[in-house]
Amino acid sequence: MSCRKTRDLIHGYVDGELDLVKSLEIEEHMKACDDCAGNYQAIRTLRSTMSDTALRFEPPANFEVRLRSALRREGEPNARPRIVRWRWIVAGVSLIVALTVTWGVAALLTRQSPHDVLAQEIVSSHVRSLMANHLTDVVSSDRHTVKPWFDGKLDFSPPVKDLSQQGFSLSGGRLDYIGNRPVAALVYQRGQHAINLFVWPSSEAPTSERASISNGYNLIGWHKEGMAYWVVSDLNLAELQQFAQLLQ
């Protein structure tokens, strides 16, 4: 895909409006094109930046009183020197505010939410597993086969649940790499929809489920008992939330 085509479609990609084929083509292009990748990151951060309350300027409480007083003095015969000084003060304050806002926008544009970075990485891993036909390293619907397979391959033992009675069948597991560390990827199936469950140790406090959408995929993440859990799939959000609740 060319840079021009990517620029035409990048907003639809950010909004999750493109089909899987187009999304993958854009992702492959951005891996080799720093300009388009930078443009993509700028669009994503700019959208969240504009709603940041840190960019709002609140005038001092006495600003209106001072302004009215200055306007009254404008009609006085000997007020011109003071008015000139006041205009310079207003111009200086305006310049400071403009520079502060510009600096704030620039700083926020270079700052990306850790949650967004992690979600993008998880979706990319999910898509790669589908593209390369590499969903599983160990193929089994028996959790007593899948769980021991990870022994010696990871520095933790991932919990593996059998949810076949609830309509989510275990397909197997594989090793993956998320957040700069090896993680367990457990694969479940719901009809024609593959679900990747990523699990790794975490020092974060327990949290409730947090759902999001990235590039057309539904994600749900939470922390519990020293572990981080993320599920991702093109399954509808209601059923994916049911799956997440069953895991807990």
pLDDT in tens, 63-72: 777 777 777 7
Write down the pLDDT at residue 43: 76
Give the number of other CB atoms < 10 A from CB of residue 203: 7
Output the six-digit token pair for 48. Answer: 């969240």
Residue 82 has pLDDT above 60, yes or no: no
Q: Angle formed by the axes of helices 20-32 and 3-14, to 10°? A: 120
Write down the pLDDT at residue 119: 85
Query: Closest by alpha carbon to 26, among 114, 122, 124?
Result: 124
Long-range contact pairs involving 33-37 (C-beta distance under 8 Å, separation at least 24): 33/3, 33/6, 35/3, 36/3, 36/6, 36/7, 36/10
What mean pLDDT comes out for the span 223-235?
94
Residue 248 has pLDDT above 60, yes or no: yes
Pairing status of strand 217-224 against strand 227-233 = antiparallel
Transcribe 73-92 into DSSP letters.
HTTSTT-HHHHHHHHHHHHH
Pick the most confident of 47-51, 133-137, 196-200: 196-200
Residue 129 has pLDDT above 60, yes or no: yes
Locate the domains of the chain by residue range.
Answer: 3-49, 53-109, 114-247
Q: What CATH number matches the domain at 114-247, 3.30.200.100, 3.30.420.110, 3.40.50.300, 3.40.50.2300?
A: 3.30.200.100
Contact between residue 209 and residue 220 where contact means Cβ atoms under 8 Å apart: yes
What mean pLDDT comes out for the span 69-92?
62
List pLDDT tens digits, range 17-30. Answer: 777 778 888 888 88
Instruction: Write down the mean pLDDT value for the chain.
Output: 82
